[in-house]
Structure 1
């Protein structure tokens, strides 16, 4: 018999070791951490179970951490929502958005550009080509600034912005502006990051602006 035959036999006869339980104490295998030391099958199984428990504990700790982070972000989005509900004008919505993102979300640089619905196109500093690009986004863009114009949306802070998030602002399917978040940290906003909350923030801001302009 070769090793595969033995393994096959044990798989097809699960009661074998139960019927010959003395083998657990008689057979030995190398220690998983100390190669020169031999231990019984039962002890080896105990080590395997402990390793699995450690992995499960690490996974549970990670899930708890993610849950706490999501709760924290949800609380910040809720506070932003309440502030936007209390804002009585486009100007106050703008100020509420900038203050919330800078103070509560710790985003150092915030840009809000509007070119339709709540503003005249000629009053906007976004080119027609950039507007078409923003309109084509179906999800927030996260990553490095793609052009000098994009960086310019942060005013004097433009030279310091190394990563950003761009959120199209839409009302009834019409893109009328964008919300831009910028950071000097290259990895603050990166292409693979989740955009669930960015989407929600963009929708909240768009709805508040469109409602005040009506």
Structure 2
């Protein structure tokens, strides 16, 4: 009989150990964190403690994620209230940019709007190429990653050469994209392809709704 035969026998006869409980005290196995021998019951206790520590670590991680989400949710809520209170486009733009920079620590923000009923003077309404419009129109979720589009990169002005990652958030009127909110960072890992975009999408929805109210 080899080890595989013993393991198979125990699986096929689950009552064996309960019928021979004295084995737990008589048989010994190596300590999981040392060289000395311990009983099977002690080994089981160590295994349970290891599982408890693992579960405690996962619980702490879940609590941390929950607290982070609560904090982000609070910032998005505060932004939405300020956008609702904005009485004109200039106030709306100021609130948006200040919130993204102060609350969300995004150092570089740019906005482009097209196909709106009303327009304003300024860079936000500068002409946008057809390729950028097609790119924005094809987005189903915010784009996060390297700043591959040089035209969008230029929107950040003098800091453009230092931007290493971007988040591009489409702004929609029903199914049609009418603008793009661009966030830029000098850190290559700030916005990356695998990151979650739930809150970016919600911010895009809020900004789009506020812009439609001001611009039609």
Q: TM-score, normalised by structure 1?
A: 0.94
Point out where structure 2 has 5 or more consecutive residues left out of the alignment: none
CA distance in 1, matches of 2:171, 2:100: 16
Measure, in 2, the Cα distance between the counterparts of 1:54 and 1:62: 12
Q: CA deviation at 1:125?
A: 4.0
Gaps of 5+ in 1: none
Q: Is 1:73 the counterpart of 2:75 in the alignment?
A: no
CA distance in 1, matches of 2:154, 2:15: 73
> What is the rounded CA distance, in whole Å, between the counterparts of 2:172 and 2:119 in structure 1?
13
Q: Which residue of 2 aligns with 1:9?
A: 9
Separation of aligned partners in 1, 2:213 and 2:152: 27
Give the drift of 1:116: 1.6
Shift of 1:9: 2.1
Cα distance in 2 for residues equivalent to 1:104 and 1:125 = 30
Query: Which deviations, in whole Å up to 9, do the C-alpha atoms of 1:147-183 show, x marking residues without a partner?
Result: 3212111122212211110001111222111001111
Q: Which of the numbers 138, 141, 146 marks the counterpart of 1:139?
A: 141
Query: How does the TM-score come out when normalised to structure 2?
Result: 0.93
Q: In the TM superposition, what is the alpha-carbon distance from 1:80 to its structure 2 partner?
A: 0.5
Q: Counterpart in 2 of 1:49?
A: 48
> In terms of mean alpha carbon deviation, does 44-53 or 146-155 score higher?
146-155
Question: What is the aligned residue count?
Answer: 212
Cα deviation, residue 59, structure 1: 0.5
**What's the CA shift string for 1:43-80, capped at 9, x where partnerless?**
11111111111110110011001000000000000000
Tell me how far apart the structure 1 counterparts of residues 135 and 61 of structure 2 sit (CA, whole Å): 37
Q: Which runs of 4+ in 1 moved over 6 A?
A: none
Deviates more, 1:153-162 or 1:107-116: 153-162
1:155 aligned partner:
157
Name the structure 2 match of 1:203. 205
Taking the TM superposition and a 5 Å limit, the aligned residue runs for 1:185-196 are: 185-196=187-198
